[in-house]
Amino acid sequence: MKIFNNPPTTDWTELTTRPQIALEFLEGAVRNVLNRVKKSGDEALRELTLQFDKVSIGDLRVSAQEIEDATMSLSPTLKNAIEVAAGNIQKFHAAQQRDVLKVETMPGVTCWRKGVPIDKVGIYIPGGSAPLFSTVLMLGVPANLAGCKEVVLCTPPDKSGKINAAILFAAQLVGVKKIYKVGGAQAIAAMAYGTETIPNVYKIFGPGNQYVTKAKQLVTEEGVAIDMPAGPSEVLVWADKSANPAFIAADLLSQAEHGEDSQVILVLNDTSLVDSVKVEVEKQLSTLPRKAIAEKALANSRVVTFDDINQATAFINAYAPEHLIISTENPIALADTITNAGSVFLGNYSPESIGDYASGTNHTLPTNGFAKSFAGVSLESFMKYITYQELSKEGLQSLGPVVEQMAEAEQLVGHRRAVTVRLDNIRNSQ
Ligand SMILES: NC(=O)c1ccc[n+]([C@@H]2O[C@H](COP(=O)([O-])OP(=O)(O)OC[C@H]3O[C@@H](n4cnc5c(N)ncnc54)[C@H](O)[C@@H]3O)[C@@H](O)[C@H]2O)c1
Ligand SMILES: N[C@H](CO)Cc1c[nH]c[nH+]1
Ligand SMILES: [Zn+2]
């Protein structure tokens, strides 16, 4: 991890840059995949799966027997852990349900807003380097709570053409039945355009690598909605002397192990922890099974120190981390100064991996600075909100003249007439 002490505050560009595949190459490669799936459907999916996942797939859909076998093969302790996590995720997301609130903006003018589920949604479950069955809970639970009619799940097969048993168990737990063995940009294309086997959907959810994330962004050009760009994982730890160097190192490594293009940042308000954290990172890295991956991610990572706490806040808001851990003496006060972050973990006993799996919050979060403008997945992400209004005769008599004035001034006589014709009718019938 490269160290920056009191970096100049005029331009954060270099310090907030994430490791990325060259944009032109990435976009070209992903557009090629999208076009192939659009043109050749299932045939392209099979060819691309052979090319990228090195396996030949016959039936793209996971059978009921495969789901049953997977469920049987899983240990009771893991099943129980998944159920506990699902319960917490269910509780947190169910609490996001809102009552319909009717507002009388003027006497006789009533407006309200009602959430309705998005009929058809697609959920992408990453599986390239690790089978993220926790993501099935993060997306399946709110889709189920929202009442989406059709949920399509895509995830890459392993080298023997199978889907990880825990992914299948979690899917049946949250009621997802349409599961397909396809990953990467080709899975996003399948859910966006539909193929002979895979139904198209209206909105695509889920994290993934840079290919998956770019594919999601590109299909929005064709009218498909997405949750947000949720690419390579990242964490920023903000610590002071009260933090434990072993905890900090473990938190940094927990996200560094996701992928070589992950990035972890340590922000310190003094330099006293630099050496002890370095020692701990080396120590813990030496026994980490995914050491090679984490080492590459650490090479893209940074320690940034600031004498001035306000500069630290400004940097963190400019970086807009996916995850922010605040391991300082008064974490809540510091958290209040943060406007750009996906999810925040407070104090020394809130490791980020708790949120990855089981506290209840959603782990599908904006990366690469998108936390400036996007929120993580929530129940609302699976709904759309329709607004309604109903006017009584008296309501139209009060508000109609206002709209007549405004429509006339916008030179939209047709708009004015839709009001006038009714006001005339009321007058004539009195
Ligand atoms: N932001 C979030 O909320 C969040 C949550 C969980 C995971 N993640 C991230 O998701 C990512 C998962 O990535 P992954 O790779 O393990 O799994 P993945 O499922 O996202 O991608 C695997 C697929 O990528 C495709 N692919 C691989 N190399 C390719 C190439 N050269 N050209 C075209 N396509 C290619 C293959 O089709 C493969 O099936 C990680 O970066 C992780 O950090 C993010
Ligand atoms: N940290 C990831 C979100 O960036 C989520 C995850 C799933 N499993 C482990 N971690
Ligand atoms: Zn994680």
Hey, where are the domains in the chain?
2-17+232-360, 23-102+115-228, 392-429
Give CA–CA dist 301/306, Å, rounded: 17
Q: Establish whether residue 251 lines the binding site of ligand 2, counting it when its CB lies within 6 angstroms of any ligand atom.
A: no
Instruction: Tell which atom from ligand 1 comes closest to the C-alpha of 125.
Output: 19
Give residue ranges with CB within 6 A of ligand 1: 29, 52-53, 126-129, 132, 135, 156, 183-185, 207-209, 211-212, 230-233, 258-259, 262, 322, 363-365, 367
Which-ligand-closest: CA of 216? 1
Give the closest residue (by CA) to ligand 2 atom 7.
356
Using a 10 angstrom Cβ sphere, with 0-12 exposed, 13-18 middle and 19 or more buried, the burial of residue 415 is middle
Q: How many CB atoms lie within 10 A of CB 406?
A: 13
Ligand 2: centre distance to CA 79 (Å) = 19
Give me the tens of pLDDT residue by residue for the chain, a chain 430 residues long: 999 999 987 789 999 999 999 999 999 999 999 999 999 999 999 999 999 999 999 999 999 999 999 999 999 999 999 999 999 999 999 999 999 999 999 999 999 999 999 999 999 999 989 999 999 999 999 999 999 999 999 999 999 999 999 999 999 999 999 999 999 999 999 999 999 999 999 999 999 999 999 999 999 999 999 999 999 999 999 999 999 999 999 999 999 999 999 999 999 998 989 999 999 999 999 999 999 999 999 999 999 999 999 999 999 999 999 999 999 999 999 999 999 999 999 999 999 999 999 999 999 999 999 999 999 999 999 999 999 999 999 999 999 999 999 999 999 999 999 999 999 999 999 8
* Biggest distance spanned by C-alpha atoms of the chain: 88
Ligand 1 pocket mutation, candidates 26, 30, 154, 209, criterion most atoms within 8 A of CB: 209
Q: Establish whether residue 209 lines the binding site of ligand 2, counting it when its CB lies within 6 angstroms of any ligand atom.
A: no
Q: How many CB atoms lie within 10 A of CB 173?
A: 20
Pick the CATH number of 23-102+115-228 from 3.40.50.720, 3.90.1200.10, 3.40.50.1980, 3.90.1150.10: 3.40.50.1980
Could you name the CATH architecture of 2-17+232-360? 3-Layer(aba) Sandwich (3.40)
Q: Which residues pair with 25 in a beta bridge?
A: none
Ligand 1 pocket mutation, candidates 21, 30, 52, criterion most atoms within 8 A of CB: 52
Give the closest residue (by CA) to ligand 1 atom 24.
184
Is 356 annotated as ligand-binding? yes
Q: Establish whether residue 356 lines the binding site of ligand 2, counting it when its CB lies within 6 angstroms of any ligand atom.
A: yes
Is 410 annotated as ligand-binding? yes
Instruction: Tell which atom from ligand 1 comes closest to the C-alpha of 155.
Output: 19
